[in-house]
Structure 1
Amino acid sequence: MLTSYLKIAFRMLRKQRALTFINIVGLATGLACCMLIMLYVLDELNYDRYNTNADRIYRIQADIKFGGNDMHFAVSPDPIGPTLKKDYPQVEQFVRLHNRGTWLVKREDESTNLREDNITFADSTLFEVFTLPLVAGNPKRALAEPNTVVISESAAKRHFGNRNPMGQTLVFVNKQAYTVTGVMRDMPKNSHFHSDFFLTMLNDDYTWGQWLSNNHHTYVLLKPGTDPQAFAKNFDAIIEKYMGPQVMQIIGSSLSQFRKAGNTIGFWLIPLTDIHLHSKQQVELAPNGDIQYVYIFSAVALFILLIACVNFMNLATARSSNRAKEVGVRKVMGSERPQLIGQFMTESILITILAMLLALVMVAMALPGFNGIAAKELNIMNLISPYQLPWLIALPFVVGLLTGSYPAFFLSSFKPIAVLKGRVSTSFRSSGLRSGLVIFQFAMSVILIVGTIIIYRQISYIQTKNVGFNRNQVVTIEDVHAIGKQAESFRQEVMRLPGVVGGSVSGYLPTPSNRSDNAFWPEGQTDMNKGINMQNWGVDYDYLKTLGMTLVAGRDFSRDFGSDSSGIILNEAAVKVLGFKDPIGKRIFQFEDEQAKIRKTYTILGVVKNFHFESLRRNIGALSMTLSANSGAASFRVSSTNLPALMKQIETKWKQIAPGQPFSYQFMNESFDAMYRAEQRIGTIAVIFAGLAVLIACLGLFGLASFMAEQRTKEIGVRKVLGASVGSIVALLSQDFLKLVLVAIIIASPIAWYAMNAWLADFAYKIEISWWIFALAGGLAICIALLTVSYQSIKAALMNPVKSLRSD
């Protein structure tokens, strides 16, 4: 029986080549999109799951409100991990990470440094908490001694080539030498943090025991069976026992008084496997993903697959008139309905299997480009892993059954007498289900078009918004700290070059860079609960001028005033929180030594206009600037029309002052745009899949239009004989589809509005969703539908009426 089904199925597919091509290509495209998105979603959902104890690892997050600022940190106080391990038996182990950013590293016997990112200090318990296999060294002892470092295999290859790195010495930018005591496998790509160098925490230059400072990423490994929510209630006791005394010592008030003043301190646990998609805290180890995008792309994958399936169902029911007599004859010859259903289901599954094979080829061809856009390392082999292979095998059969069920039951239900007498009407207008499916297809297409337009407008808004400083034509030279006291000499040498109009040396920039939070109080304030927590940046005399920032009151730092070393410049947000109506000349202080209560007082010299120094997802917070010799980077404003030549000249100056040090630079607008790289990727992916969804819908519409024209051949011939013009016939054949597209636009618009409002809610600064976006999306959908239908409509309208009336 199955052999017979297959023979008939292949015969029918060969007979209707055009229809078969449309079905297979449309379904294959939908399946390929679905598989690509499935690979992306699975990769996002599997972050950090490579850890053997991933289900028992939690990070401590801090939520603090003080001085008018709400702060949500991924970091916590340095003593909290050891304290939990000591006081609570539910904690099996803890580890702290302290990321120190980018450092210059070299072998002891080398003169040239290499620039290495994500240099991280870690406790010796690192390998007890995380699954980071060592290929050399003892994981329990690797970071237990001072001046030790564990490096990745990639780092070992970069610095030592084929030499054995164990026992060798690496020298870091701080001139500190570390002995390599372990080599670990490269960290998996889908980890929420990455590092090629883990230095022992014993060498971290830090003042330990600060319960009111949050600088370490702390992870705890809970013992099996521990309820994390119940355990997190212990943080209240920790705060009372350990933080309370420091609050009293520094601020002079109890925790209850601190809280009555409107301030709060709280800690909570986030599962390791939730960090990448669910954590939106400040001071993350690396940019995280967003669960919203997983939901969005999962929905897009489902929509595209459904659109492809709808095509199949529409075309199968539309061609029912061509197979009605076949059904009637086979029923007269004794075929039972189950046999007919089996035949049509076999054809459906066969088409789906062929489409699946083509889809796998499409995925293999598309993956390199998709990886480049999505910044992933996805592999088609992931689809045929032991976990995914059963789903992959089942997919064509499930899709085949779903897509073929309605056509099979529909076609097999024909009455043989009515069919053979020609009484079965299967015109386009007679099928309410088919019309509903077309509406569904185009509603999904309109939603995707609206979403794509809004995403791109938001990205454009971010890239063109006035952020309060001029980031164009500013080049940043990195790793200036490597030349120490010669940083100012380097700045002066570069300033002499033609085309350089400004220069500043500072490690603090309004792009992803260093951050430093400090608490300040107005002078004379007796209520220490009335302080303000704000960013405090160390800058030089030329910082504001170089970056094009605007003073709204007071003056800039000046070399003419020696007292400016105790001056401070605030942004408008800080002045507002402090409540100063006339801030110039007012004095504020901070504790240089909190335990000894040694204060440093600053005089407010100026107020700078608010500028964005974090993502536009956040409101502008309070910020202050003081004079400092911080030399993390040098920024230069340039006006040269020949930037490559100018950069060569700057590099020459660098090599004269810092021979052997790598020269690395970046333009500030590129650094700023890097904060929104995830949104840019999402926008590009959205455009691609929206276009493919529309293409698939058009394939189905094209097939339906051809069948509609075929079914109305005689009607068209009669109309032409009676004097109908080509234009009127094209309009007649197109109007049914246009009505459905209009209904789809009406249904899709509120859904798209709601979904995109939810996406924009994450941005503090965002575009307004205008009515014209829906009009544009609707207009595009109508144009696409007209272009798709018009070919078949015009072809039918131009047909010789004599030939039309002779057709059977």
Structure 2
Amino acid sequence: MLKNYLKTAFRSLWRNKRYALLNVTGLTLGIAVCLVIYVIIQYEQSFDTFHTRKDRIYRVLTVMPEESGKINYTQAVPFPVPTALPNDFSGFEKVAGIVQMGKRLVTLEDSKGNIQKKFKPLVYFLQPSFFDIFDYRWLAGNSATALNDPKSAVLARSTAEKYFGDWHRAMGQVIKLDQQFELTVTGILDDPPKNTEFQFDMVATYALLKINEIKDWTTIDDIHNCYVLLRPGQDVAQINRQLIAFSKKYKDPKNKTTHMLQPLADVHSDKRTENFIGRVASPERIRMLWMIAAFILLIACVNFINLATAQAVNRAREIGVRKVLGSNHWQLKIQFLSETAMLVLTSLLLAVVLALCVLPFISRVMDLPLDAGMLAAYNVYILLFAIFLGVTLLAGFYPSIVVSAFNPINALKSRIAASRKSSGISLRRGLVVFQFIIAQALIIGTLIILQQMNYFHKQSMGFTRDAIVNIPFRNDSAGNAKIAYLRDQLQRIKGIQEVSFSSAAPSNNGNWWTGFRFDHQAEETKFPSVTRWVDYNFLNTYDIKLIKGRNLTRSDSISEFLVNETLVQKLGLKPADVLNKNIDVWNGQIKGMIVGVVKDFAAGTLKEAVAPVFMGNIKQRFSSVGVRLAAGADVQASLKAIEELWNANFPEQLFEYQFLDQRIAAYYKEERQLAELYEIFAGIAIFLSCLGLYGLASFMAIQRIKEVGVRKVLGATPAHIVYLFSREFVLLIGIAFVVATPLVWYFMYNWLNNFVNRIDINWTVFLAGGMAALVIALITVSSQAVRAAMMNPIDSLKVD
């Protein structure tokens, strides 16, 4: 019996090749999108799930309440926290401080001290207890002893193989870190999986930095985090309450910052905070991806239902004959579901092939390590079976009811079209509207995201970011001694307009926040501020405007400060009121006088509010050189001259540089990737919707062929025929636009609220999205309408 159903289904589909092709194409695309999105979601939700004690691992956050009532969260903690926690909490089985200072210089020297190799691995400074909390595979050495000596280091396998040829040969080798610390390689770790927040190339000891000697409870730095492993059965809510008391115990009474625990599972998804890889997959984004996958699959199913019900009218006589020969309702339903199952199964197989083909492209767009192996996971097979079952029932059930309900007498007399006109057309209209609601929503939403990205690119950040090159600078006595010489030599290079030494460029994604005492007050400010250490030419190089007072002096030995407008406002003063007032940083370690107020600039990204900033001229803290190139300069020639100067003065260093505008653009990488992904999905949604329109228009042209012939005999022009075919679809797309507009506005308004600096949603973007959908749909429908209009009316009237 089953064999007969399948054979009949195959013959039916073969007779209606165009119908089958349209459905297979639509379902293949819809299912492929689902598979790709599912792989992306699975990857994003797999971060650090491989640790055996993941349910007991937490990150310590710093909670920073503002006077306005707003509460800010950061992953950074004061440096004494990891040392103090074990003494105050018995519920912590292990505590580990972590510092990630980015890529650091590592050199290999021969017995005479000559540098043989130099490279810059990503270095994590860890307390040894880190490896008692997290699970990483040791190839050599072990977690119990490898980092006991502060002058020891552990390498990732790929790093060891890259610079020693074979990781076995790396063991016991002596390497020099930052030209300061001689470290012995005491362990080799297998490369961290891609789905972990800790993507280290090399691990050094936390004790090497002597962080445990720092007693400053006010200053926090994004590079310093703390993780804990709770003992079994601990009450997290109770520990969070105890952390409030812990904060009060060690901090100044006026310091309102406290701490709380964040589960390891939330580190990659909590958009309130950042992480070491600099990318967060928020629950909102995951839900949006699920919705897109579901909607695009629904569009494909809607296509199937529309085409199947329209096709059913053309199969009326076949159904009538089957009923006359004894077929009952269930047999007809099973027959139709069998045809649907064959189409879905074919589409499913093609979708897997398509997903395998496009996965590398999506991997590049999203900058995610997606590979074909992810489609071989057992949960993907479960998803495929669920899609097969769900789509077969969803897309095939209603058409099977329609077909099985045909009256055999009317079917044999070809009266089905009239008897089914009202209900069938109404359903198809509703489904077309549903398709274009989704398609237009994606188009308009994508346009709004692109506008916001363009706003980030063009909006002023309060400084010049074009033609600025940032070069890492050696921050030690040898480097500081060469500042004046290097400045002079750089300014002699053709094409260089301005030069500035500083701790960082104006905009930086790893800011140093600290409190300070203003005007000899006994207490620190209630708000932390971003700290920049800059020279006298910082303002000129980056074109930051001075609005009150004067610039810093040329001397690097006098402690003077510049502050921005936001800092002055938070003090409740006017720019003139802060001039010549003192700033005391780190309990008197650094003191100086405010000599000028600068216009606000974005110390972080435009996604955030402008931060209070103070800038002082302490050359011992300079770690970056900003070079501003003149208009029309030969960039490559200038960069080559800078490299030659650097190599001559710092032969042990690796010369690196980065254009400031490119680094700032990287801050919005996630949003840009999201926009690109939405562009792809919007294109697929509109294609699928038009695919359904094409099929419907084709069947309408067949069903109304006699009507067209009569109209042409009575004098109707081809243009009038095209108008008759198109006006109904224009109305349906218009209804979809009216429904989609408020939905898109609501969701995109909430999305834009995530940014402090954002665009206002303009009505023109809705008009553009609606017109785009309308034009594409009209082109699709008109192709069939023109074909019907150009037929010879005599041939049309002969059609039975």
Shared fold per TM-score greater than 0.5: yes
The whole-number CA distance in structure 2 between the counterparts of 1:625 and 1:796 is: 74
> Any runs of at least 4 consecutive aligned residues in structure 1 with deviations exceeding 6 A, and if so which?
66-70
The whole-number CA distance in structure 2 between the counterparts of 1:283 and 1:313 is: 46
Query: Which sections of structure 2, spanning at least 5 residues, go unmatched?
Result: none
The whole-number CA distance in structure 2 between the counterparts of 1:64 and 1:174 is: 37
Q: Tell me the residue number matched to 1:504.
A: 500
The whole-number CA distance in structure 1 between the counterparts of 2:497 and 2:585 is: 37
Pairing partner for 1:208 from 204, 209, 214: 214
Q: Tell me the residue number matched to 2:147.
A: 143
Q: Tell me the residue number matched to 2:103.
A: 102
Q: Tell me the residue number matched to 1:11.
A: 11
Q: Tell me the residue number matched to 2:225.
A: 217
The whole-number CA distance in structure 2 between the counterparts of 1:459 and 1:158 is: 38
SS of 1:60's equivalent in the other structure is: strand
The whole-number CA distance in structure 1 between the counterparts of 2:180 and 2:386 is: 59
Q: What TM-score does the superposition give when structure 2 sets the normalisation length?
A: 0.94
Please state how far the C-alpha of 1:353 moved relative to its aligned partner: 0.8
SS of 2:132's equivalent in the other structure is: helix
SS of 1:766's equivalent in the other structure is: coil
* 1:129 partnered with 2:120: no
Q: For each residue in 1:249-285, what CA deviation from the matched residue of structure 2 results, as whole angstroms up to 9, or x when unmatched?
A: xxxxxx3xx3xxxx62221111111111114226756
Please state how far the C-alpha of 1:79 moved relative to its aligned partner: 4.0
Q: What does 1:417-456 align with in structure 2 at a 5 Å threshold?
A: 417-425=409-417, 426-427=420-421, 430-456=424-450
CA distance change for structure 1 residues 491 and 726 in 2, over 3 Å: closer, same or farther? same
Identity %, equivalent residues: 34
Pairing partner for 1:385 from 367, 377, 380: 377
Q: Tell me the residue number matched to 1:251.
A: none
The whole-number CA distance in structure 2 between the counterparts of 1:312 and 1:563 is: 74
Contact 1:318–1:428 (CA<8 Å) still a contact in 2? no
Q: For each residue in 1:374-414, what CA deviation from the matched residue of structure 2 results, as whole angstroms up to 9, or x when unmatched?
A: 01111222122123322223322321121111111111111
The residue type equivalent to 1:538 in the other structure is: W
Please state how far the C-alpha of 1:599 moved relative to its aligned partner: 6.0
SS of 2:600's equivalent in the other structure is: coil
Q: For each residue in 1:174-202, what CA deviation from the matched residue of structure 2 results, as whole angstroms up to 9, or x when unmatched?
A: 42011111111111112223211111112
The whole-number CA distance in structure 1 between the counterparts of 2:594 and 2:652 is: 42
Q: What does 1:256-267 align with in structure 2 at a 5 Å threshold?
A: 258=254, 264-267=256-259
SS of 1:446's equivalent in the other structure is: helix
The whole-number CA distance in structure 1 between the counterparts of 2:556 and 2:798 is: 102
The whole-number CA distance in structure 1 between the counterparts of 2:485 and 2:713 is: 91
Q: For each residue in 1:725-759, what CA deviation from the matched residue of structure 2 results, as whole angstroms up to 9, or x when unmatched?
A: 00111000111111111110011000000010111
CA distance change for structure 1 residues 525 and 125 in 2, over 3 Å: closer, same or farther? closer
The whole-number CA distance in structure 1 between the counterparts of 2:349 and 2:29 is: 11
Segment of structure 1 superposing worse, 720-729 or 104-113: 104-113
Q: Tell me the residue number matched to 1:278.
A: 270
Please state how far the C-alpha of 1:428 moved relative to its aligned partner: 8.4
Pairs aligned (count): 785
Pairing partner for 1:494 from 480, 484, 490: 490
Q: Tell me the residue number matched to 1:178.
A: 183
Contact 1:143–1:199 (CA<8 Å) still a contact in 2? yes
Please state how far the C-alpha of 1:459 moved relative to its aligned partner: 0.3
Q: What TM-score does the superposition give when structure 1 sets the normalisation length?
A: 0.94
The whole-number CA distance in structure 2 between the counterparts of 1:222 and 1:472 is: 48
Q: Tell me the residue number matched to 1:637.
A: 628
The residue type equivalent to 2:769 in the other structure is: A
Q: Tell me the residue number matched to 1:237.
A: 245
* 1:720 partnered with 2:712: yes
Contact 2:274–2:280 (CA<8 Å) still a contact in 1? no
The whole-number CA distance in structure 2 between the counterparts of 1:667 and 1:712 is: 63
Please state how far the C-alpha of 1:479 moved relative to its aligned partner: 4.2
The whole-number CA distance in structure 1 between the counterparts of 2:556 and 2:318 is: 99
The whole-number CA distance in structure 1 between the counterparts of 2:153 and 2:193 is: 19
SS of 1:149's equivalent in the other structure is: strand
Please state how far the C-alpha of 1:70 moved relative to its aligned partner: 6.2
CA distance change for structure 1 residues 399 and 71 in 2, over 3 Å: closer, same or farther? closer
Segment of structure 1 superposing worse, 771-780 or 643-652: 643-652
The whole-number CA distance in structure 2 between the counterparts of 1:416 and 1:360 is: 41
CA distance change for structure 1 residues 455 and 513 in 2, over 3 Å: closer, same or farther? closer
The residue type equivalent to 2:54 in the other structure is: A
Q: For each residue in 1:690-715, what CA deviation from the matched residue of structure 2 results, as whole angstroms up to 9, or x when unmatched?
A: 10111111111100100011100000
The whole-number CA distance in structure 1 between the counterparts of 2:139 and 2:9 is: 56
SS of 1:319's equivalent in the other structure is: helix
Q: For each residue in 1:79-114, what CA deviation from the matched residue of structure 2 results, as whole angstroms up to 9, or x when unmatched?
A: 434444344333221211012222111224361554
Q: What does 1:35-434 align with in structure 2 at a 5 Å threshold?
A: 35-65=35-65, 71-109=72-110, 111=115, 114-162=118-166, 164-206=169-211, 207-215=213-221, 216-240=224-248, 242-243=249-250, 246-247=251-252, 255=253, 258=254, 264-281=256-273, 286-425=278-417, 426-427=420-421, 430-434=424-428
The residue type equivalent to 2:220 in the other structure is: N
The whole-number CA distance in structure 2 between the counterparts of 1:692 and 1:337 is: 36
Q: Tell me the residue number matched to 1:473.
A: 467
Q: Tell me the residue number matched to 1:570.
A: 563
CA distance change for structure 1 residues 554 and 70 in 2, over 3 Å: closer, same or farther? farther
Contact 1:98–1:217 (CA<8 Å) still a contact in 2? yes
Contact 1:102–1:118 (CA<8 Å) still a contact in 2? yes
Contact 1:521–1:531 (CA<8 Å) still a contact in 2? no
The whole-number CA distance in structure 1 between the counterparts of 2:67 and 2:596 is: 20
Contact 2:464–2:542 (CA<8 Å) still a contact in 1? yes
The residue type equivalent to 1:234 in the other structure is: Q
